[in-house]
Chains A and B, each alone.
Chain A
Amino acid sequence: EAGVTQSPTHLIKTRGQQATLRCSPISGHTSVYWYQQALGLGLQFLLWYDEGEERNRGNFPPRFSGRQFPNYSSELNVNALELEDSALYLCASNSPGRRNTEAFFGQGTRLTVV
């Protein structure tokens, strides 16, 4: 069974540009979570999508947004990139309502803003 997959692995953008990161959850999982991990810092919760809807968001500005598609894959968009947006962006998936709801993570997209 395939795990959570993220693309691209690495992304380099210029300040002010937009970045799009993609995540495919484990088959059967309906929830997707996005986290940001800046260098040397902990994982900060960004967004949670379930059944195509945004269910919750962390303390991030509106230029961080995303969506979830009918096949439960998800995109994270970061507009007007700033240097401090450079980080590892991690996606996780699970399914609500199941007994074992541990989340499984992808390997992340490393975004570098120059």
Chain B
Amino acid sequence: DAKTTQPTSMDCAEGRAANLPCNHSTISGNEYVYWYRQIHSQGPQYIIHGLKNNETNEMASLIITEDRKSSTLILPHATLRDTAVYYCIVRVAGNAGNMLTFGGGTRLMVKP
């Protein structure tokens, strides 16, 4: 799997958009960008994934640059419950054997 680079930590004001960046400059053409988050001492929660087009679901939006070397996860209106460690992972979709490899992630602190 291609490696990812994320900032160690970020702060965001409650109600504002949280923009979490991820660099994946060695991503391959068949690798997707996945985002998970882990709230303290709980199991990681799937958020969203995409290949090259921007994606949006009820939790977040994923913006992938045209060259696919970086992406941004956007939480449009962050709440205190969004405080968590966010992991950006690249892997081949449709291949369950390509297990998720977690890096250090970004610790997002949403402040009142």
Show the binding face of A for B, using Cβ within 8 Å. Answer: 4, 31, 33, 35, 42-43, 45, 48, 50, 55-56, 88, 90, 92, 94-108, 110
Per-residue contact bits, chain B 10-46, to A (CB 8 Å; 1 contact, 0 not): 0000000000000000000000001000000111111
Considering the complex, give the chain B residue whose CB is closest to the CB of A6: B43
Report the separation of the CA atoms of residues A108 and B44 in the bound assembly, to the nearest whole angstrom.
Answer: 10
* Contact of A101 with B44 in the complex, beta carbons under 8 Å: no
Contact between chains at B41 and A43 (CB < 8 Å): no
- Among A42, A88, A97, the residue within 8 A (CB) of B94 is A97
Could you list 12 examples of A-B contacts with CB < 8 Å?
A35-B102, A42-B103, A42-B104, A42-B105, A43-B100, A45-B100, A56-B97, A97-B94, A97-B96, A102-B34, A102-B46, A108-B43
Q: Which residue, B49, B99, B100, has most C-beta atoms of chain A within 10 A?
A: B99
In the complex, how many residues of chain B place their beta carbon closer than 8 angstroms to a beta carbon of chain A?
20
Whether B44 and A99, one on each chain, are in contact in the complex, defined by CB atoms closer than 8 angstroms, is no
Q: Determine whether the beta carbon of A98 is less than 8 Å from that of B42.
A: no
| B29 nearest CB across to chain A (Å) | 17
User: Is B101 a contact partner of A45 (Cβ separation < 8 A)?
Assistant: yes
